[in-house]
Chains A and B, each alone.
Chain A
């Protein structure tokens, strides 16, 4: 069975076609690009907010895109339990929209970091990771300047207690170390879900690691989980 994936395109999105290709050509799903000015999600089963630099990251990354007309629909869709996946800039949009807790600050070392990293799967109890194994390490790229995940202590505790931390930056062997943390994220957090577990935000790009020709196909398992959870 195939689902229908909607990839939102903001002015400044630049991984929209990567998501389109990964879900469409690699996983054979129906995919539709949805311009951010649209006011309908036209019956999609999954919404992807892609990576990029919506509105040039002006004010704060994601702060302006968060008020794009389509976001009203995305918020309603999420409230009904629809699957929403925010990758990189999409994650920033989701925290700005209040669909996920915390914030993404400037990388601690002030550098734009563009490289392959390793992620340890922290929970398989989510539609985005149900096809993975707990502890499974994925090689996936990051490309961001503002990926330093921050949450205050009580929010962090509720994320930890609620099993909402989905991925942490790790070594190749799955050890969570300061050296494997590329941006200063608190507790090495690379991706989280909301309490209802239908909204995912992650800074790394699984869609850019969906075919071997891209340097890694290990991100495909994340997208495949999403597709399988629609069946």
Chain B
């Protein structure tokens, strides 16, 4: 078994209105040195698969098929064993929707 932690964020060229709102609030609080706030979401998943390679493929496939929208979002993920040791990293820049078989 493994754990996957995935961060989904909007692509940098896409406006993040939540980030803008947070930034403006930070400025109002006097944090004038803080800028370029971007938000995202964090998704934690348990992967019930003994083989690390296969677990990695499953986590990547979940990102491609459902967790991130390739039009607007990118993702970065990390796979950990159950003791919390990092096993692998993956991201939208090294896996694409087309290379994974999507059942229709």
Could you tell me which A residues sit within 8 Å of B by CB distance?
59-60, 63-64, 67, 72, 75, 95-96, 101-103, 105-110, 150-152, 184
Contacts and interface: CB of A to CB of B under 8 A. Distances in A.
Interface of B: 10, 14-15, 17-18, 21, 66-67, 69, 71-72, 104
B76 to A, nearest CB: 17
Contact of B72 (A59, A67, A72, A150): A150
A105 B15 contact: yes
Contact of B17 (A59, A106, A150): A106
Consensus secondary structure, chain A interface: loop
A144 B69 CA distance: 19
A77 to B, nearest CB: 13
Contacts of A110: 17-18, 21
A150 B14 contact: yes
Given A59-B67, A105-B14, A151-B71, 5 more contacts: A67-B66, A72-B104, A103-B72, A106-B18, A184-B15
A189 to B, nearest CB: 14
B66 A63 contact: yes
B24 to A, nearest CB: 11
Contacts of B18: 106, 110
